[in-house]
Amino acid sequence: MAKQILYSEDARKALKRGVDAVANAVKITIGPRGRNVVLEKSYGAPTITNDGVSIAKEITLKDKFENMGAEIVKEVAEKTNDIAGDGTTTSVILTQAIITEGLRQTTMGVNPMGVRVGIERAAEKVVEELKKMATPIKTKEEIKQVATISAESAELGEKIADTINKVGKDGVVTVEESQSVGIEYEVVKGLQFDKGYVSPYMVTNAERMEAVMEDASILITDKKIGGIKEILPFLEKLAQSGNKNL
Protein backbone atom coordinates (compact mmCIF):
# COMPACT_ATOMS: atom_id res chain seq x y z
CA MET A 1 0.00 0.00 0.00
CA ALA A 2 1.38 3.43 -0.99
CA LYS A 3 2.41 5.74 1.84
CA GLN A 4 0.94 9.21 2.15
CA ILE A 5 3.34 11.96 3.21
CA LEU A 6 2.63 15.47 4.44
CA TYR A 7 5.23 18.17 4.99
CA SER A 8 5.62 21.46 6.83
CA GLU A 9 2.46 23.48 7.42
CA ASP A 10 0.10 20.84 6.02
CA ALA A 11 1.49 18.22 8.41
CA ARG A 12 1.35 20.55 11.41
CA LYS A 13 -2.23 21.59 10.68
CA ALA A 14 -3.38 17.98 10.32
CA LEU A 15 -1.76 16.98 13.62
CA LYS A 16 -3.28 20.03 15.30
CA ARG A 17 -6.77 19.13 14.08
CA GLY A 18 -6.35 15.67 15.61
CA VAL A 19 -5.12 17.11 18.90
CA ASP A 20 -8.05 19.53 19.04
CA ALA A 21 -10.60 16.83 18.21
CA VAL A 22 -9.65 14.79 21.28
CA ALA A 23 -8.87 17.70 23.61
CA ASN A 24 -12.12 19.54 22.87
CA ALA A 25 -14.13 16.41 23.65
CA VAL A 26 -12.25 15.80 26.89
CA LYS A 27 -11.81 19.28 28.36
CA ILE A 28 -15.53 19.95 28.87
CA THR A 29 -15.41 17.38 31.70
CA ILE A 30 -12.91 19.34 33.82
CA GLY A 31 -13.74 20.32 37.38
CA PRO A 32 -16.69 19.73 39.69
CA ARG A 33 -19.08 21.32 37.16
CA GLY A 34 -17.72 19.39 34.21
CA ARG A 35 -20.13 17.96 31.66
CA ASN A 36 -20.57 14.31 30.75
CA VAL A 37 -19.74 12.77 27.37
CA VAL A 38 -21.79 10.00 25.74
CA LEU A 39 -19.71 7.28 24.05
CA GLU A 40 -21.27 5.04 21.44
CA LYS A 41 -20.52 1.32 21.75
CA SER A 42 -20.51 -1.23 18.94
CA TYR A 43 -22.90 -3.26 21.06
CA GLY A 44 -25.06 -2.54 24.08
CA ALA A 45 -26.05 0.79 25.58
CA PRO A 46 -23.85 3.89 25.18
CA THR A 47 -21.52 4.84 28.02
CA ILE A 48 -21.92 8.13 29.86
CA THR A 49 -18.70 9.31 31.52
CA ASN A 50 -16.65 12.35 32.49
CA ASP A 51 -13.38 10.46 32.79
CA GLY A 52 -10.82 12.06 30.49
CA VAL A 53 -8.77 8.99 29.63
CA SER A 54 -11.88 6.87 28.96
CA ILE A 55 -13.16 9.47 26.49
CA ALA A 56 -9.79 9.87 24.77
CA LYS A 57 -9.38 6.12 24.27
CA GLU A 58 -12.66 5.90 22.37
CA ILE A 59 -11.77 8.52 19.76
CA THR A 60 -10.39 7.38 16.41
CA LEU A 61 -10.32 9.74 13.43
CA LYS A 62 -10.75 8.75 9.78
CA ASP A 63 -7.93 10.96 8.52
CA LYS A 64 -4.64 9.17 9.21
CA PHE A 65 -2.66 12.34 9.84
CA GLU A 66 -5.28 13.82 12.14
CA ASN A 67 -5.43 10.50 13.97
CA MET A 68 -1.69 10.78 14.66
CA GLY A 69 -2.41 13.99 16.54
CA ALA A 70 -5.24 12.27 18.39
CA GLU A 71 -2.90 9.44 19.38
CA ILE A 72 -0.46 11.93 20.91
CA VAL A 73 -3.16 13.22 23.25
CA LYS A 74 -4.37 9.70 24.05
CA GLU A 75 -0.84 8.66 25.00
CA VAL A 76 -0.54 11.64 27.36
CA ALA A 77 -3.85 10.79 29.04
CA GLU A 78 -2.95 7.11 29.41
CA LYS A 79 0.49 7.88 30.83
CA THR A 80 -1.00 10.31 33.35
CA ASN A 81 -3.56 7.70 34.34
CA ASP A 82 -0.87 5.03 34.80
CA ILE A 83 1.38 7.26 36.91
CA ALA A 84 -1.09 9.36 38.91
CA GLY A 85 -4.44 7.62 38.47
CA ASP A 86 -6.17 10.98 38.05
CA GLY A 87 -5.73 14.37 36.40
CA THR A 88 -6.04 13.04 32.85
CA THR A 89 -8.31 15.87 31.71
CA THR A 90 -5.88 18.46 33.06
CA SER A 91 -2.98 16.81 31.25
CA VAL A 92 -4.97 16.82 27.99
CA ILE A 93 -5.74 20.54 28.34
CA LEU A 94 -2.07 21.31 29.03
CA THR A 95 -1.01 19.23 26.03
CA GLN A 96 -3.36 21.12 23.73
CA ALA A 97 -2.15 24.48 25.06
CA ILE A 98 1.54 23.54 24.72
CA ILE A 99 1.08 22.27 21.16
CA THR A 100 -1.00 25.31 20.15
CA GLU A 101 1.56 27.78 21.47
CA GLY A 102 4.48 25.73 20.15
CA LEU A 103 3.05 25.72 16.64
CA ARG A 104 2.34 29.45 16.88
CA GLN A 105 5.96 30.10 17.77
CA THR A 106 7.35 27.97 14.94
CA THR A 107 4.99 29.64 12.46
CA MET A 108 6.47 32.98 13.54
CA GLY A 109 9.91 31.67 12.64
CA VAL A 110 11.20 30.51 16.04
CA ASN A 111 13.59 27.56 15.86
CA PRO A 112 11.62 24.36 16.71
CA MET A 113 14.54 22.99 18.77
CA GLY A 114 14.58 26.20 20.76
CA VAL A 115 10.85 25.81 21.43
CA ARG A 116 11.44 22.26 22.64
CA VAL A 117 14.22 23.31 25.01
CA GLY A 118 12.03 26.12 26.32
CA ILE A 119 9.14 23.74 27.00
CA GLU A 120 11.41 21.31 28.86
CA ARG A 121 12.93 24.06 31.02
CA ALA A 122 9.54 25.57 31.76
CA ALA A 123 8.18 22.15 32.73
CA GLU A 124 11.00 21.69 35.25
CA LYS A 125 10.26 25.08 36.81
CA VAL A 126 6.53 24.37 36.98
CA VAL A 127 7.15 21.02 38.69
CA GLU A 128 9.39 22.73 41.26
CA GLU A 129 6.71 25.30 42.06
CA LEU A 130 3.97 22.68 42.24
CA LYS A 131 6.02 20.69 44.76
CA LYS A 132 6.34 23.82 46.90
CA MET A 133 2.59 24.43 46.70
CA ALA A 134 1.59 20.79 47.28
CA THR A 135 -0.08 19.83 50.56
CA PRO A 136 1.05 16.41 51.87
CA ILE A 137 -1.84 14.06 52.59
CA LYS A 138 -1.39 12.57 56.05
CA THR A 139 -4.67 12.03 57.90
CA LYS A 140 -7.51 9.64 57.16
CA GLU A 141 -9.89 12.57 56.71
CA GLU A 142 -7.62 14.11 54.06
CA ILE A 143 -7.43 10.79 52.21
CA LYS A 144 -11.22 10.58 52.34
CA GLN A 145 -11.60 14.08 50.86
CA VAL A 146 -9.29 13.33 47.92
CA ALA A 147 -10.82 9.89 47.29
CA THR A 148 -14.38 11.24 47.44
CA ILE A 149 -13.63 13.96 44.88
CA SER A 150 -11.78 11.59 42.57
CA ALA A 151 -14.37 8.80 42.76
CA GLU A 152 -17.32 11.21 42.93
CA SER A 153 -18.78 9.06 45.68
CA ALA A 154 -18.83 9.69 49.43
CA GLU A 155 -19.36 5.99 50.12
CA LEU A 156 -16.43 4.93 47.96
CA GLY A 157 -14.26 7.71 49.39
CA GLU A 158 -14.98 6.43 52.90
CA LYS A 159 -14.08 2.85 51.95
CA ILE A 160 -10.85 3.93 50.27
CA ALA A 161 -9.85 5.98 53.31
CA ASP A 162 -10.58 3.03 55.63
CA THR A 163 -8.55 0.67 53.44
CA ILE A 164 -5.49 2.91 53.13
CA ASN A 165 -5.66 3.71 56.83
CA LYS A 166 -5.41 -0.01 57.62
CA VAL A 167 -2.67 -1.03 55.15
CA GLY A 168 -0.62 2.17 55.39
CA LYS A 169 0.67 4.48 52.66
CA ASP A 170 3.14 1.84 51.43
CA GLY A 171 0.60 -1.00 51.46
CA VAL A 172 -0.62 -2.67 48.30
CA VAL A 173 -4.31 -2.27 47.39
CA THR A 174 -5.87 -4.48 44.73
CA VAL A 175 -9.28 -3.56 43.30
CA GLU A 176 -11.47 -6.36 41.97
CA GLU A 177 -14.98 -6.47 40.55
CA SER A 178 -17.41 -8.11 42.97
CA GLN A 179 -20.24 -10.47 42.11
CA SER A 180 -22.29 -9.13 45.01
CA VAL A 181 -23.93 -5.76 45.67
CA GLY A 182 -22.03 -3.18 47.70
CA ILE A 183 -18.41 -2.28 48.41
CA GLU A 184 -16.30 -4.48 50.66
CA TYR A 185 -12.63 -4.76 51.51
CA GLU A 186 -10.44 -7.44 53.02
CA VAL A 187 -7.08 -6.90 54.69
CA VAL A 188 -4.55 -9.69 54.13
CA LYS A 189 -1.47 -9.59 56.35
CA GLY A 190 1.87 -10.64 54.97
CA LEU A 191 2.79 -10.92 51.32
CA GLN A 192 0.98 -12.80 48.57
CA PHE A 193 1.93 -13.59 44.98
CA ASP A 194 -0.75 -14.37 42.44
CA LYS A 195 1.17 -17.42 41.25
CA GLY A 196 1.07 -21.07 42.23
CA TYR A 197 3.66 -23.82 42.01
CA VAL A 198 5.31 -24.31 38.63
CA SER A 199 5.28 -28.11 38.79
CA PRO A 200 2.93 -30.69 40.35
CA TYR A 201 6.05 -32.41 41.72
CA MET A 202 6.29 -29.57 44.24
CA VAL A 203 3.00 -30.61 45.89
CA THR A 204 3.44 -31.58 49.53
CA ASN A 205 -0.25 -32.28 50.23
CA ALA A 206 -1.65 -34.48 47.45
CA GLU A 207 -5.13 -34.50 48.96
CA ARG A 208 -5.48 -30.70 48.80
CA MET A 209 -3.00 -30.27 45.92
CA GLU A 210 -1.00 -27.72 47.89
CA ALA A 211 2.70 -27.01 48.10
CA VAL A 212 3.53 -25.90 51.64
CA MET A 213 7.15 -25.14 52.54
CA GLU A 214 8.13 -24.31 56.10
CA ASP A 215 11.03 -21.96 56.83
CA ALA A 216 11.73 -21.50 53.12
CA SER A 217 14.38 -19.11 51.82
CA ILE A 218 13.36 -16.32 49.45
CA LEU A 219 15.60 -15.10 46.63
CA ILE A 220 15.23 -11.41 45.80
CA THR A 221 17.12 -10.01 42.82
CA ASP A 222 16.97 -7.08 40.44
CA LYS A 223 18.63 -9.15 37.71
CA LYS A 224 16.87 -10.97 34.90
CA ILE A 225 17.13 -14.73 35.36
CA GLY A 226 17.24 -16.35 31.95
CA GLY A 227 17.89 -19.93 33.03
CA ILE A 228 18.65 -22.29 35.90
CA LYS A 229 22.41 -22.11 35.23
CA GLU A 230 22.49 -18.50 36.39
CA ILE A 231 21.35 -19.38 39.91
CA LEU A 232 22.86 -22.88 40.09
CA PRO A 233 25.82 -21.81 42.30
CA PHE A 234 23.37 -20.21 44.71
CA LEU A 235 21.21 -23.34 44.80
CA GLU A 236 24.26 -25.52 45.50
CA LYS A 237 25.27 -23.34 48.46
CA LEU A 238 21.71 -23.43 49.73
CA ALA A 239 21.65 -27.23 49.55
CA GLN A 240 25.00 -27.44 51.35
CA SER A 241 23.59 -25.35 54.19
CA GLY A 242 20.87 -27.95 54.69
CA ASN A 243 18.01 -25.73 53.53
CA LYS A 244 16.54 -27.10 50.31
CA ASN A 245 13.39 -25.00 50.23
CA LEU A 246 13.58 -21.92 48.03
CB 59 within 8 A of CB 25: yes
With 0-12 / 13-18 / 19 or more C-beta atoms within 10 angstroms meaning exposed / middle / buried, residue 160 is: buried
**Can you give the pLDDT at residue 125?**
97
Q: Where are the domains of the chain?
A: 8-133, 137-191, 200-240
**Can you give the pLDDT at residue 121?**
97
CB 116 within 8 A of CB 122: no
**Can you give the pLDDT at residue 194?**
66
Mark the ranges of the chain whose per-residue pLDDT is less than 70. Answer: 1, 191-194, 244, 246
**Can you give the pLDDT at residue 1?**
66
Q: What are phi and psi of 39, to 5 degrees?
A: -110, 125
CB 46 within 8 A of CB 39: yes
pLDDT digits (tens, 9 = 90+) for 94-150: 999 999 999 999 999 999 999 999 999 999 999 999 999 999 988 999 999 999 988
**Can you give the pLDDT at residue 246?**
66
CATH class label, 8-133: mainly alpha
**Can you give the pLDDT at residue 179?**
82
What is the number of residues in the chain?
A: 246
